Amino acid sequence: DTGVSQDPRHKITKRGQNVTFRCDPISEHNRLYWYRQTLGQGPEFLTYFQNEAQLEKSRLLSDRFSAERPKGSFSTLEIQRTEQGDSAMYLCASSLTGINIQYFGAGTRLSVL
Amino acid sequence: GNSVTQMEGPVTLSEEAFLTINCTYTATGYPSLFWYVQYPGEGLQLLLKATKADDKGSNKGFEATYRKETTSFHLEKGSVQVSDSAVYFCPRVGELVFGKGTKLTVNP
């Protein structure tokens, strides 16, 4: 078990560009979560999946954000037309249904110039 | 509904000092409670948990007891180290809310 892995660890992009992040959860975990964390704040929930179904989305997840988990394994988070306000750490976590312990990846740090 | 109130920091201590970070909750029944820790530059990781009233969770010298009479789950450590410098989160029960956490800085 290698834990939750996220790729890339760092991403620098120019305003207006699209970016995509990947998360590989712990293999037997059926739930996968995305959070955003800005400096000095805790993680803010964005969305979560149970298997391939996206069950909940936060109001923070604007139309420019889309997340997928097509085969119920890895997930991608895409941000279109990035804005400077999107600069943050994007965290992924996974868990098993019925067990409320989330295992986090190290995150992808996005900087929008 | 369920809620958690965590003492916000920052907290600054000298090495070997005693640590308490308060966390109180309101909930229906006795749900599982958790403390997570985030070291600089890393994601969150589970520090300890308690699944029922009067349970004590412990890990890395940290302890927290699930006290139903005071509805609390305070995090304690008898002697902190510089390496304990991190942000500690007591998340809202059953919900995907972590709050700002409590930033602990331990000076040598």
Instruction: Encode chain B in three state secondary structure.
Output: CCEEEECCCCEEEECCCCEEECEEEECCCCCCEEEEEECCCCCEEEEEEECCCCCEEEECCEEEECECCCCECCEEECCCCHHHCEEEECCCCCCCCCCCCEEEEEEC
Inform me whether the pLDDT recorded for B42 exceeds 90. Answer: no
How close does chain A come to B90, measured CA to CA in Å? 11
A2 touches B at CB < 8 Å:
no
Inform me whether the pLDDT recorded for B3 exceeds 80. Answer: no
Cis amide bond preceding A70, omega within 30: no
For residues B6 and A68, the model is more confident at: A68
Which of B103, B93, B94, B92 lies closest to B19 in space, CA to CA?
B103
Interval A37-52: pLDDT, tens: 998 888 999 999 999 9
Inform me whether the pLDDT recorded for A35 exceeds 90. Answer: yes
Q: Are B104 and B19 in contact (CB under 8 A)?
A: yes
List Cβ neighbours of A2 (8 Å cut-off, separation of 6 or more): none
How close does chain B come to A105, measured CA to CA in Å? 6
Q: Are A66 and A57 in contact (CB under 8 A)?
A: no
Smallest Cβ–Cβ distance between B45 and the set A33, A104, A107 belongs to: A104
How close does chain A come to B29, measured CA to CA in Å? 16
Interval A60-77: pLDDT, tens: 888 999 999 998 899 999
Contact A106 B43 (CB under 8 A): yes
A89, A101, A55, B23: CA torsion to nearest 10: -70
Helix, strand, or coil (residue A86): helix
B54, B38, A58, B49: CA torsion to nearest 10: -20
- Tell me whether strands B11-14 and B102-107 are parallel, antiparallel or unpaired: parallel
For residues B89 and B8, the model is more confident at: B89
Measured between beta carbons, the chain B residues lying within 8 angstroms of A45 are 96-97
Contact B43 A48 (CB under 8 A): no
